[in-house]
Structure 1
């Protein structure tokens, strides 16, 4: 969604798919949606996390306490900003850009 987030992780490609199970929220009060590039779980309400996730494109403080933040884009922000985003409500047939590969690294603090 332009200016808001890039969402992925739906195994069905419908926007409502999941893994067949859910897990609880995990909030850290030190992690806030105060900038773009944050990786968080998408959900349908409290404790309904599954497969879907999103990356914020801007600060989204209204999501604080509602979605579990579990990562941050630390390299490749240029790729994130070049995504051709889609709004499924406005253009349901456009698939948007997809990921070919992703590397997850764990940083020691």
Structure 2
């Protein structure tokens, strides 16, 4: 093959896709695979993958789960099943800086993964949520970081919380391990 053709082939090749493989345990048991959108939310994807590679997400619970809406997890500060402060899960983050919003035209549909944040659009850190159903009112308000590509049945089985805030009572489901895949 000609050198120019080889160079063009290399340039035209798509970048390696980054994703997560999450082993879930509790009422839900199984594997959830997520395709991360590094082209849409590069800073958020970089932070999530760095935390996953460090093992920061291993043992973190799904602390806020609302029927027909979403399952939230990722509080690496307070949300650890062992050694965490589950009563405060959802109030913490990581020791990394908060991220500026990376809003896009991606819609919040079933299986979409978004970054959780406080009132400030630039406050996402480590927490994320997976949509059970469409939540179009979130469009343009929260950063979309990916999409579940396999294991939505596992997501659907995650133990639901109670009340308006969806706080999980008793033993929450947990991300046993979170692995970065390419």
Question: Any gaps of 5 or more consecutive residues in structure 1?
Answer: none
**Per the alignment, do residues 63 and 4 of structure 1 end up closer, same or farther by CA in structure 2, a change over 3 Å counting?**
same
1:64 aligns with 2:134: no
**Which TM-score applies when normalising by structure 2?**
0.52
Q: Deviations over 1:14-70 (max 9, x none)?
A: 2111124211011222x111x211111000121111111000110000101111001
Q: Which structure shows the higher strand fraction?
A: 2
Tell me which stretches of 4 or more aligned residues in structure 1 moved more than 6 Å.
none
Larger radius of gyration: 2
RMSD, aligned CA: 2.0
The Cα shift of 1:95 comes to 3.6
The corresponding residue for 1:2 is: 67
Aligned length: 104
Q: Which has the higher contact order (CA 8 A, sep 6+)?
A: 2
Asked if 1 retains the 8 angstrom alpha-carbon contact of 2:160 and 2:166, the reply is no
Question: Any gaps of 5 or more consecutive residues in structure 2?
Answer: 1-65, 80-87
The corresponding residue for 1:24 is: 100
The Cα shift of 1:102 comes to 3.1
Structure 1 counterpart of 2:178, from 96, 102, 109: 102
**Which TM-score applies when normalising by structure 1?**
0.83
Asked if 1 retains the 8 angstrom alpha-carbon contact of 2:162 and 2:169, the reply is no
The corresponding residue for 1:51 is: 126
Asked if 1 retains the 8 angstrom alpha-carbon contact of 2:99 and 2:123, the reply is yes
Structural mapping, 1:29-48, within 5 Å = 29=105, 31-33=106-108, 35-44=109-118, 45-48=120-123
Q: SS in structure 2 opposite 1:78?
A: helix
